[in-house]
Amino acid sequence: MAISEKDLLLALGNEEPRYLEILPKLDEKAIAILSVLSKGNDTMMATKAIFLAGLSKTLSGAVIVETASKSAVKLKRIAAASAMEHLPEEKREKIALKLIDDADISIQKLVIRATGNSKSVKLKEKFTRLSKESPSGYIRELISALPQPMP
Amino acid sequence: MAITQAMWIHGHSIKVEYHDRIKSIRRAGFFARITGKPNTTNWFHFSIPTTVIVNDKRQMIDSVMLRFRSGSNKAKVTNVDIYDGDWKIAAYDNLGLYPATFGLQRFNVPGKPEISWGVGISIGVSFTGTTDAQNTIEFSSAGCDFNLFESVRLHFKVLTTPTVSIDQMLASMREVYEPVGVRVVRMSDENLDLPSLNTVDVGECKRGITTAEQNTLFNHRNNVVANDVVVYFVEATNPPYNGCAAHPDGKPGAVVASCATRWTMGHEVGHVLGLSHVDNNDRLMTGNGTGNITNPPPDLISSEITTMQNSNLTVNP
Ligand SMILES: [Zn+2]
């Protein structure tokens, strides 16, 4: 049975939401609630909603993540980067291309992990540039450690 | 939780800081009656005789108490500052107390520190009346309760300063823990420059299961000894949680995210001490989020208190 708005708010309010238990109860109505939360001022709830939206593997969920990836609020962009690995490849790469330019190391780390195996030429170019130019030794190493594609 | 020591001193013993600002001080048998000059402020001091060690145990201060009454609302207690020797251990400022009759006013000392040097109470009073009757205040007694609390000892390692300040999270945690006899000691603070762990992977955040990133983060244990608990303040967790209390064996601690609530730290340390979620928004361990707590401060119930006391992370005095 689909989750009610009240129960969804309590389940996400949880200090440590059990995302995998909420997931099967999501319907389009619930995802619409996630969309509202993702744009709200309660940053903690917004980040949880963004992650769960990505986990839902729905088109509307992917839209929520993509919108969050453009947010002015860094924590929402971090949540979008956390959610990326669950998105369809095409959507994931589109969001990655935007988020990889973010100067934040957490966001770059999550993007590299989620799309390190991507065949996207544009994304590979960005990784190559970062592997040489990133001021963060951690990010340079993370990219160098990615498996190299077969020639 | 019985009081281990209670010390009182009669109002006669009061010391006046600025004699030129008072019109008179008279010690009747019942009290010290002070009449301030109009439009003055003053400080009055009580030194509480303090037995700092009883039966080989250093005493912890619970609260101080004052018995006084004012001639009018123009003779107001504005400050009550509490000292252990040269160390200010509590400060109540911006008060406006003018009881018409003698009653017992209690001032809690958060953190319940061990006392080393003797308790002093400094009382700020403002006199704004035009007549002597209005500007009169009478102190009959001052006292202090001591106790012995179990302690949970916290070290704060800060990767990102949280939105709700650490001081506020600690004060909130003490609001919940201290009434049930567990004091929360702030052992140390350290900033950690670890940008790669600032959004830390915590996986599904299940007790006993940790990620490689948690293992790396929890290796940072400067100043920490066995049975101390470390709280790591990070920007975010991956996936997003308020916090996560899963920790490697033998390295008790939790992470708290930067937009956690003021109750999150107490909740996560509750998990570290062995507590589990409940479906009740009046309680600290609610599984519906401490952001939804309905009747603050949230409660701990007796079975939870027993679990906390049985944890080897709460240390007996
Ligand atoms: Zn919890």
* Positive/negative CA dihedral, B216, B218, B219, B220: positive
Q: What pLDDT, on the 0 to 100 scale, is given for residue B216?
A: 98
Distance CA(A125)–CA(A127), nearest Å, equals 5
Q: What percent of chain A has pLDDT over 70?
A: 97
**Domains of chain B as residue ranges with CATH:** 5-147 (2.60.120.260), 150-315 (3.40.390.10)
Q: What pLDDT, on the 0 to 100 scale, is given for residue A146?
A: 86
Per-residue burial over B246-274, b = 16 or more CB atoms within 10 Å of its CB, e = otherwise: bbbeebbbbbbbbbbbbbbbbbbbbbbbb
Q: What pLDDT, on the 0 to 100 scale, is given for residue B124?
A: 98
Q: Are B107 and B68 in contact (CB under 8 A)?
A: no
With a CB-CB cutoff of 8 Å, which residues 43-82 of chain A face chain B?
43-45, 47-48, 50-51, 75, 78-79, 82
Beta bridge partners of B157: B190, B232
Q: Are B109 and B90 in contact (CB under 8 A)?
A: yes
Distance CA(B156)–CA(B267), nearest Å, equals 15
Closest-CA distance of chain B to residue A148, Å: 22
Mean pLDDT value of segment B304-313 = 97
Q: Are B52 and B118 in contact (CB under 8 A)?
A: yes
Q: What percent of chain B has pLDDT over 90?
A: 97
Q: How confident is the model at residue A149 (pLDDT cuts 50, 70, 90)?
A: low
Strand order in the sheet with B119-127: B15-16, B40-48, B119-127, B75-84, B87-92
Q: How confident is the model at residue B2 (pLDDT cuts 50, 70, 90)?
A: confident
Q: Are B78 and B125 in contact (CB under 8 A)?
A: yes
Count CB neighbours of B190 within 10 A. Answer: 13
Q: What stretch of H or E contains A83?
A: helix A74-83
Q: Answer yes or no: is pLDDT of A151 > 70.
A: no
Q: What pLDDT, on the 0 to 100 scale, is given for residue B28?
A: 86
Q: Tokens standing for B98?
A: 């003018």
Mean pLDDT value of segment A27-34 = 96
How many A from CA of B268 to the centre of ligand 1?
6
Q: Supply the mean pLDDT for chain B.
A: 97
Q: How confident is the model at residue A116 (pLDDT cuts 50, 70, 90)?
A: confident
Closest-CA distance of chain B to residue A151, Å: 31
A138 CB near a chain B CB, below 8 Å? yes
Q: What is the pTM of this model?
A: 0.92
How many A from CA of B280 to the centre of ligand 1?
12
**A5-144 CATH pick, 1.25.10.10, 3.40.630.10, 3.30.1330.10, 3.40.50.720:** 1.25.10.10
pLDDT tens digits, B3-27: 889 999 999 999 999 999 999 999 9
Distance CA(B140)–CA(B252), nearest Å, equals 48
Q: What pLDDT, on the 0 to 100 scale, is given for residue B284?
A: 98
pLDDT tens digits, A32-90: 999 999 999 999 999 999 999 999 999 999 999 999 999 999 999 999 999 999 999 88
Mean pLDDT value of segment A29-34 = 97
Per CB-CB distance under 8 Å, the chain A contacts of B260 are 15, 44
Q: What pLDDT, on the 0 to 100 scale, is given for residue A150?
A: 52
Q: Are B115 and B133 in contact (CB under 8 A)?
A: no
Please enumerate residues of B whose Cβ is less than 8 A from a Cβ of A: 163, 195-196, 198-199, 204-205, 235-236, 238-244, 257-261, 264, 267-268, 277, 287-292
Beta bridge partners of B26: B33
Q: Tokens standing for A90?
A: 């095409």
Q: How confident is the model at residue A147 (pLDDT cuts 50, 70, 90)?
A: confident
Mean pLDDT value of segment A104-121 = 92
Q: How many CB pairs under 8 A join A and B?
A: 85
Exposure on the CB side of residue B18, measured as CA atoms within 13 A: 15
| Domains of chain A by residue range | 5-144
Q: How confident is the model at residue B1 (pLDDT cuts 50, 70, 90)?
A: low
Chain B: residue whose CA lies nearest to A44: B259
Q: In a 10 Å sphere around its CB, with 0-12 CB exposed, 13-18 middle and 19+ buried, how is residue B243 labelled?
A: buried
Mean pLDDT value of segment B259-266 = 98
Q: Judging by DSSP bridges, how do beta strands B119-127 and B40-48 pair with one another?
A: antiparallel
Nearest CA to A69 out of A45, A44, A38 is that of A38
